[in-house]
Structure 1
Amino acid sequence: MTPLHVATIEGRVEVLREILNVNPQFLWILTKEGETALHLCTKANCFNVTSYLVENYDVGAILNLPDKDGITVFHVAAARKLIQVTTLANQDWVDLNIKISILFVGID
């Protein structure tokens, strides 16, 4: 995990701003699980980070980027009932047809 990812999980927008001022392409750095900073901030319920990134950077393609299991930021948001993030799905650049590539099995 990079400093960008740690700042994302901790909701540290000011640190993210400094890191991304150096190079906005750092947003494309993935974790070992193939997750982006947007995956991480959504999982950590850091909507302040999500809002900052969406408002200040071209993140359309990143929002649609699946992790190793085929899960996008919107899959995470929907599973966690994060309405603020799912409202971003009204944007033209969101692909609502991405399929998850893993099988979820219920436990009895």
Structure 2
Amino acid sequence: MEMESTVYAVKQGLRVAVRKMLGWKTSLAYTHAGNGNDWATSIHIAANEGRVNMIRELLFHCPDSLEMLNSNGQNALHVAILNYKTGVVRFLLNSKESHNLIDEPDNDGNTPLHLLAASDWISVPAKLRRRASTKQE
């Protein structure tokens, strides 16, 4: 029941509620939500919904939640790119730990950089363009 409440609060962007829940029990940020072999954590849900404020709140209480993977082996940057959440992509790329996210392959071997290159996004964030050009050298 606690996890469902946290997921609902994250999905709805209820920052104060999320803050109180994580202040009470930080492990809620790491719990899997979903069914069977298809699950995610709160940071994936926030990325999917485009909720930068929720990601900020999660990272404030649980900084290492940025490294969490969903059932597909994807981090929050994978999820944000796949769901065209530009604000989340920018926020995550500006985080200190973004270099850990960019090159992390999912279960299919795709990094966020691969997903971005294969997408139909018109503008590729500058940080990823620079990263892609240095990878090819």
* TM-score bucket of the superposed structures, by smaller chain: 0.7 to 0.9
- Closer, same or farther: CA 81–87 of 1 in aligned 2, 3 Å: farther
Moved more, 72-81 or 41-50: 72-81
Q: Kindly indicate whether structure 1 or structure 2 has the higher relative contact order, using CA contacts under 8 Å at least 6 residues apart.
A: 1
Indicate the RMSD between aligned Cα atoms, in angstroms. 2.1
Bigger fraction of residues in strand: 2
Deviations along 1:56-88, one digit per CA (max 9) or x if unpaired, are: 332112110000111000111111132433532
Paired residues of 1:74 and 1:85 also in contact (CA < 8 A) = no
Structure with higher helix content: 2
How far did residue 92 of structure 1 move? 5.4
TM-score normalized by the length of structure 1:
0.78
Q: Which residue is 1:78 aligned to?
A: 117
Report the secondary structure of 1:27's partner residue.
helix
My pick for the range that moved more, 79-88 or 15-24, is: 79-88
Match of 1:4 in 2: 43
State the SS of the aligned residue for 1:30: coil
Residue in 2 that maps onto 1:60: 99
Structure 1 CA distance for aligned equivalents of residues 72 and 134 of structure 2 = 21
Gaps of 5+ in 1: 98-108
* SS class of match (2:50): coil
Contact map agreement 2:52 2:87 (CA 8 A) in 1:
yes
Return closer, same or farther for 1:33/1:41 CA change in 2, 3 Å cut-off.
same
Bigger CA radius of gyration: 2
Identity of aligned residues (%): 30
Q: What residue ranges of structure 2 are gaps of 5+ in the alignment? A: 1-39
2:124 alignment partner, SS class:
helix
Q: How does 1:1-108 map to 2 (within 5 A)?
A: 1-85=40-124, 87-91=126-130, 96=135
Match of 2:108, SS? coil
Aligned letter for 2:115?
A: V
Cα 1:45–1:39 change in 2 (3 A) is: same
